[in-house]
Amino acid sequence: MGEQFVEYYYKTFDSNRADLAGLYGQDSMLTFEAAPCQGVANIVTKLQDLPFQRVEHQVTTLDAQPADTTTGAILVIVSGVLLVEEEKRPMSFAQTFQLKPREGSYYVFNDIFRLVYPAA
Amino acid sequence: MGEQFVEYYYKTFDSNRADLAGLYGQDSMLTFEAAPCQGVANIVTKLQDLPFQRVEHQVTTLDAQPADTTTGAILVIVSGVLLVEEEKRPMSFAQTFQLKPREGSYYVFNDIFRLVYPAA
């Protein structure tokens, strides 16, 4: 489940960010590099307004844990590499999602994205 | 809340890992560099068996979001730098916690730790 989601999420992010709307809901939260927003419309606007056109996510690690054994919610944690147009240097990132069940599938309730800079 | 927890967690980790036992419960999950374990005893054993004696966590970023508006659970996401004895090079890490309410306080239900290597 985690792998399928992550593959779909970054493929969609890297090809047509507007299509990510289907993965969020009215109560979804995104904190992108410390900037918070809430709700599918605000989140998709934020993602579309990011100052790059071409972007590629490469997943390095993927971890998943049950976030709530009663509801079936899942935590999915990704680390990887981000390649942005005109940047010669790839950047490391870490992203945490909580996926909650919705109508036989899942949607993103929590989404926290951070670039991770080299330690030294 | 997130900041207090993070400060206490790493201070305790870096001074006496056995004292972290009070922060976990029987249903807590830890995935440390892809190795999973569950329950306070297994988790504390895992943390104590890590192959270093002296360690220092420096927190670079801290994000928090409500993980469940009904129960009051919280997601706390940290990125930072790990300094381990005898290692000349600091390493970047990312760690995600889900804190759930327990007896007027919180405990760690989910804990996922990853080193994050430089992208290039």
Query: Is the distance from CB of A82 to CB of A56 less than 8 angstroms?
Result: yes
Region B30-35 average pLDDT: 98
How far apart are the C-alpha atoms of A116 and A118, rounded to whole Å?
Answer: 7
| CB atoms near residue A35 (< 10 Å) | 9
> What's the domain range around B86?
2-114
Start-to-end CA distance of chain B, whole Å, equals: 35
Q: How confident is the model at residue A76 (pLDDT cuts 50, 70, 90)?
A: very high
What average pLDDT does chain B have?
A: 95
- Which run of H or of E encompasses A37? strand A35-38
Q: Is residue A120, in this structure, part of any structural domain at all?
A: no
Confidence at residue A120, expressed as pLDDT on a 0 to 100 scale: 72
Q: CB distance B79–A94 less than 8 Å?
A: yes
Confidence at residue A85, expressed as pLDDT on a 0 to 100 scale: 82
How far apart are the C-alpha atoms of B2 and B19, rounded to whole Å?
Answer: 19
Most B CBs within 10 Å, among A81, A91, A111, A114, to test the B interface? A114
CATH number at residue B44: 3.10.450.50
pLDDT of A1 higher than 90: no
Confidence at residue B85, expressed as pLDDT on a 0 to 100 scale: 82
pLDDT of A111 higher than 80: yes
Q: Is residue A93, in this structure, part of any structural domain at all?
A: yes
Query: Is the distance from CB of B78 to CB of B2 less than 8 angstroms?
Result: no
Q: Is residue A91, in this structure, part of any structural domain at all?
A: yes
Q: Which residues of A touch B114 (CB under 8 A)?
A: 61, 63, 77, 79, 94
Q: How many CB pairs under 8 A join A and B?
A: 91
pLDDT of A10 higher than 90: yes
How far apart are the C-alpha atoms of B100 and B28, rounded to whole Å?
Answer: 10
Q: Is residue B49, in this structure, part of any structural domain at all?
A: yes
Q: Is residue B86, in this structure, part of any structural domain at all?
A: yes
pLDDT in tens, B50-76: 988 899 999 999 999 999 999 999 999
Residue A29 has its nearest CB partner, among B65, B82, B110, at: B65
Looking at the 3D structure of chain B, how many domains does it have? 1
Residue A96 has its nearest CB partner, among B96, B109, B117, at: B96
Confidence at residue A66, expressed as pLDDT on a 0 to 100 scale: 98
Complex confidence, ipTM: 0.95
* CA neighbor of A44 nearest in space, from A85, A86, A6, A16: A16
Q: Is residue A28, in this structure, part of any structural domain at all?
A: yes
